[in-house]
Structure 1
Amino acid sequence: MVNADRILAPQLRSKVMTAADAAAQIPSGAHVGMSGFTGAGYPKLLPLALAERINAHHARGQKFKVSVWTGASTAPELDGALAKVDGIEMRLPYQSDPTCRKRINAGRMEYIDIHLSHVAQHAWFGFLGKLDIAVVEVAGIREDGSLIPSSSIGNNKTWLDLADKVILEVNAWQDIRLEGMHDVYYGTQLPPNRKPIPIVASGDRIGEQYLRCDPAKVVAIVETNLPDRNSAFSPPDETSQAIAGHILDFLGHEVKKGRLPHNLLPLQSGVGNVANAVMSGLEDGPFDNLTAYTEVLQDGMLHLLRKGKLSHASATALSLSPEGYDEFLRNLDFYRERIVLRQQEISNHPEVIRRLGVIAMNGMIEADIYGNVNSTHVMGTSIMNGIGGSGDFARNSYLSFFMTPSAAKGGKISCIVPMTSHVDHTEHDVQVIVTEQGLADLRGLSPKQRAKVIIENCAHPTFRPALKEYFKRALEYSPGLHTPHILDEALTFLPNWMANKAAREAWRDDAVVQADAWR
């Protein structure tokens, strides 16, 4: 039964079919552009049906894989389902699914980790190959065939524009009152015909409320009524609150110095508990009339909007907890006037970020003593998730923070290291590093000056003596003294130092036992 309230275009109602029939439109080897950004607005049924189709082919001994392009991470019903049946040949530009991660690190799935602002233009340039099919979730289809976006936009505009065929999932779970919250810009051009992006304030609207879609390209419509992956956030712990406290103190200091206005500058924050802790701290802080120009809108920004501390926010997706989404629905009319959702090539556009003077706050895996940041890899070779939009904001923001607890794995691993095993953000793009131990303001400092500040302010006390010892040895033995390193020790120094420390302590304890026995 066609939901006539959601599919208003009469000429498209005949395209409604089951997810299995729609999945049959996707051949092996296809490049498929799917909607979805941090668990919001992804197709819910089509990927599961496609996974079943792929699994059936594999059971018959037939190869079947597709390449999956999205906005960012999605959900188990998409990434997880396709990865479990070994159905993904190539994944881009970002993922956070454990099954995908295992296959990528085992060499069984190819993965391109891309700055999120680059994805649309790389597709338009032809760098990624031909896009065959777009699979996009929408909240509804209007009489003229234009589409009401759902809880994220991501790269949907680009997928709809470039794909030969389009499959739509019309999700009745998405509140139809989302209509009017979106701003889809159709003014981008290819070089040399580009024009400036006309955004001069984070709340500016420069586009259209709807996604354009050629009805002739629509080959299938699947009706759904299923929720987004709204994951619960843990309450801010002591470590997250300490990191947030350092950042808020620093922002207050910058206001007093006259380097920031009293209402700061537009805020960007990555996903996670630390980011929410910062937002929570701003609720009770001295800053009013705040704005946000970010990728995802989390619970923390929702609370700031509701309390009147945040006047408006720009993003490409909602990333709310179940409680946050309930609050959003209860007051959706209020939030629709204060939130604008854009495509990610605009939400993450370097030109706009630099013009607005964004304050960027992003997480990391580790930083080295000179300020280079690893956001993506464990032990230099295994991917965790991806760079996401952190690079878009780090290089172009007015202030760029990178945050992490000072130690991981129960205090066994230092997150401040002599040399990162992988570099996503060079020292040239990193201005401030923050752990629960303290904050290192790296602006205007040389490499050796940065090292002293990072070790003293950010390293965990367990590892601080080792880092000081490494830096001292590097100053003595490094062939060059601009950025002193002992290259054959840099990646192994901390593990060896900790092992030697444990051996020394064991020897000392044994000596004490023997002395007691002798007495």
Structure 2
Amino acid sequence: MSGRIHNEALRSKVMSAPDAAALVRNGWNIGFSGFTGAGYPKDFPEALAGRIDAAHHQGEEFKVNVLTGASTAPELDGALARTGGINFRAPYQSDPEMRSAINKGISYYSDIHLSHMGPQVSQGFLGKMDLAVIEVTAITEDGELIPSSSVGMNRTYLDYADKVILEVNEWQSEELRGMHDIYYPIGALPPNRVPLPILTPSDRIGQLTLKVDPEKIIAIIVTDSPDRNTPFKPLDHDSKAIAGHLLDFLSNEVKQGRMPKNLLPMQSGVGNIANAVLAGLLEGPFENMTSYTEVIQDGMVDLLDSGKMRVASATAFSLSPTAAERLNNNAKDYRDKIILRPQDVSNHPEAIRRMGVIACNGMIEADIYGNVNSTHVMGSRMQNGIGGSGDFTRNGYFSSFVTPSTAKGGAISCIVPMVNHVDHTEHDVSVIITEQGLADLRGLAPRQRAKLIIENCAHPSFKEPLREYVKLAEKVANGLHTPHDLESALSWHIRFLKTGTMVS
């Protein structure tokens, strides 16, 4: 019996993961905790996968709908996707098995802005919530839940699910208590919404624990397993160059008087390049910084340790194994520096707009007019999803997108005549950065943007073909505001699919 279950009545509900999985029925909507590999249930999903496999071997139909906060881990997305037992998945994923099931048509997938997920579940757009499966650090004497390393959608799933299964994970530090800020809004849905009372990243507006109706709890599983933490790749030349371009840009914004010396609150997407930008900030001139973001990566923890960053607000961690161990062992030292909130607060458009957050996210490709594709490969294949990038892009003070200028060893240009899928339109994209340089698109018309993006961001191998495309488009287009040659606008993608390269 776990010493972390301090409520006497709830101890009787402890059982094994297979016994808990036996309670699930075909067709259920299940809301799982988990956000970027942090705070997801560890044992229950694999037990459920075993149950689904057994049913399929007996010729029985058994599929469930899987909702999360964002991406999870092989123990959840991977294990369930391998069974073919996921009928529907939302709002974000990054597991190879899950991606394969989506692109093979085995699983339906709805790519939803992370700030929209809470309201959509609350309004019933995704159907009735049958079950919530939530990882927690401990259960208090009065039956409230101490969250673990992510908050994500947990509050909403606990509120709206008919039944609840809890995983009490003893690997998660008990000293995480005090780091969370769980806001229970009064009037959360239209027409009764009220303003979000956050003015700065350090504001706390909620309580330390999650609430749950004890009558809903049908099982408690005790685990002792670490989060899935992936090491970041060593900083390469391209990552360092991209980070350097952004830091120079921020320094100039301060010099021009458009930003305070300690910058505006930073948002950083997930990945090696975003982490490189944070590492660059560690060496940069800025002090007393703050962050209002969705995930906290290694670079942000380093900034907090150095004193250059004062506070970081997010909904989850996304750390390397080394950084996760460091934070887990010293959680009490970070409780005044880190705030973990529900994702409909961490990604709330009102707060992002009010504070003037600086948005920095990765992309797959951008076109010459500033439209960005961050989700699809060659038109049809889903990569991961839009995640929270749209929340910050549309509502931030300015939005930057970063990528190396080429992919697949130079076979693909990440600057193209027309993106094969649009996630972020030209109206929302302020800055595009590759290792080649930076294009500040603010205040420019489409043809002005095209020239700047080609000259500053495209790889030298693709500059002249892009210039030639613009010349052709200006001759044949039915208007010169945003000139395109529709017959050849996607020819680069078609060439790659046929020959394996965009190079003509």
**TM-score w.r.t. length of structure 2:** 0.98
Residue 209 of structure 2 corresponds to residue 210 of structure 1: yes
Please say if residues 101 and 385 of structure 1, whose CA atoms lie closer than 8 Å, have aligned partners that are also in contact: yes
How far apart in 2 are the matches of 1:214 and 1:331?
A: 32
Which stretch shifts more, 491-500 or 59-68? Answer: 491-500
Deviations 1:456-507 (A, max 9, x none): 000000001000000011111111111000011100047659999x9999xx
Please say if residues 478 and 484 of structure 1, whose CA atoms lie closer than 8 Å, have aligned partners that are also in contact: yes
Deviations 1:172-231 (A, max 9, x none): 000000001000000151111111000000010000000000101000000000000011
Please say if residues 200 and 356 of structure 1, whose CA atoms lie closer than 8 Å, have aligned partners that are also in contact: yes
How far apart in 2 are the matches of 1:482 and 1:263?
A: 39
Shift in alpha-carbon separation, 1:503–1:158, aligned structure 2, 3 A = closer
Residue 382 of structure 2 corresponds to residue 400 of structure 1: no
Please say if residues 230 and 322 of structure 1, whose CA atoms lie closer than 8 Å, have aligned partners that are also in contact: yes
Q: Which 4+ residue blocks in structure 1 deviate beyond 3 angstroms?
A: 493-500, 502-505
Aligned to 2:91: 93
Aligned to 2:242: 243
Please say if residues 378 and 493 of structure 2, whose CA atoms lie closer than 8 Å, have aligned partners that are also in contact: no
Aligned to 2:104: 106
Q: Where does 1:266-415 land on structure 2 (aligned, <5 Å)?
A: 266-415=265-414
Please say if residues 470 and 493 of structure 1, whose CA atoms lie closer than 8 Å, have aligned partners that are also in contact: no
Q: How far apart are residue 330 of structure 1 and its match?
A: 3.9
Residue 29 of structure 2 corresponds to residue 31 of structure 1: yes
Q: How many residues align?
A: 502
Which stretch shifts more, 387-396 or 103-112? Answer: 103-112
Aligned to 1:514: none
Aligned to 1:512: none
Which of 53, 56, 62 is matched with 1:55 structurally?
A: 53
Please say if residues 368 and 420 of structure 1, whose CA atoms lie closer than 8 Å, have aligned partners that are also in contact: yes
Q: How far apart are residue 417 of structure 1 and its match?
A: 0.2
Deviations 1:395-428 (A, max 9, x none): 0000100000000000111000000000000000
Partner amino acid, structure 1, of 2:269? G
How far apart in 1 are the matches of 2:194 and 2:60?
A: 48
How far apart in 1 are the matches of 2:203 and 2:492?
A: 50
Aligned to 1:198: 197
Please say if residues 147 and 210 of structure 1, whose CA atoms lie closer than 8 Å, have aligned partners that are also in contact: yes
Aligned to 1:473: 472
Aligned to 2:68: 70
What secondary structure is seen at the aligned counterpart in 1 of 2:459? coil
Q: Where does 1:149-228 land on structure 2 (aligned, <5 Å)?
A: 149-188=147-186, 189-228=188-227
How far apart in 1 are the matches of 2:298 and 2:93?
A: 21
How far apart in 2 are the matches of 1:312 and 1:329?
A: 18
Shift in alpha-carbon separation, 1:493–1:99, aligned structure 2, 3 A = closer
Partner amino acid, structure 2, of 1:463? F
Shift in alpha-carbon separation, 1:265–1:30, aligned structure 2, 3 A = same
Partner amino acid, structure 1, of 2:335? R
Please say if residues 293 and 347 of structure 1, whose CA atoms lie closer than 8 Å, have aligned partners that are also in contact: yes
Structure 1: any 5+ residue segments left out of the alignment?
506-519
How far apart in 2 are the matches of 1:125 and 1:414?
A: 41
Q: How far apart are residue 326 of structure 1 and its match?
A: 2.2
Identity of paired residues, percent? 63
Q: Where does 1:422-441 land on structure 2 (aligned, <5 Å)?
A: 422-441=421-440
**TM-score w.r.t. length of structure 1:** 0.95
Shift in alpha-carbon separation, 1:374–1:504, aligned structure 2, 3 A = closer
Q: Where does 1:107-126 land on structure 2 (aligned, <5 Å)?
A: 107-126=105-124
Deviations 1:352-395 (A, max 9, x none): 00001000000000000000000000011110000000000000
How far apart in 2 are the matches of 1:497 and 1:111?
A: 26
How far apart in 1 are the matches of 2:338 and 2:497?
A: 49
Please say if residues 374 and 420 of structure 1, whose CA atoms lie closer than 8 Å, have aligned partners that are also in contact: yes
How far apart in 2 are the matches of 1:74 and 1:389?
A: 15
**Bigger Cα Rg:** 1
Q: How far apart are residue 57 of structure 1 and its match?
A: 0.3
Partner amino acid, structure 2, of 1:193? N
What secondary structure is seen at the aligned counterpart in 2 of 1:428? coil
Shift in alpha-carbon separation, 1:269–1:496, aligned structure 2, 3 A = same
Please say if residues 171 and 224 of structure 2, whose CA atoms lie closer than 8 Å, have aligned partners that are also in contact: yes
How far apart in 2 are the matches of 1:368 and 1:239?
A: 20
What secondary structure is seen at the aligned counterpart in 2 of 1:182? coil
What secondary structure is seen at the aligned counterpart in 2 of 1:170? strand
How far apart in 2 are the matches of 1:290 and 1:356?
A: 13
How far apart in 1 are the matches of 2:448 and 2:495?
A: 25
Partner amino acid, structure 1, of 2:420? S
Partner amino acid, structure 2, of 1:488? E
Deviations 1:103-150 (A, max 9, x none): 111111100000000001001111111000000000000011100000
Deviations 1:219-260 (A, max 9, x none): 000000000001111111100000000000000000000001
Please say if residues 467 and 494 of structure 1, whose CA atoms lie closer than 8 Å, have aligned partners that are also in contact: no
Which of 15, 26, 41 is matched with 1:43 structurally?
A: 41
How far apart in 2 are the matches of 1:251 and 1:331?
A: 32
Please say if residues 79 and 97 of structure 1, whose CA atoms lie closer than 8 Å, have aligned partners that are also in contact: yes
Partner amino acid, structure 1, of 2:440? D
Q: How far apart are residue 329 of structure 1 and its match?
A: 3.0
How far apart in 2 are the matches of 1:196 and 1:408?
A: 43
Shift in alpha-carbon separation, 1:268–1:182, aligned structure 2, 3 A = same
Aligned to 2:254: 255
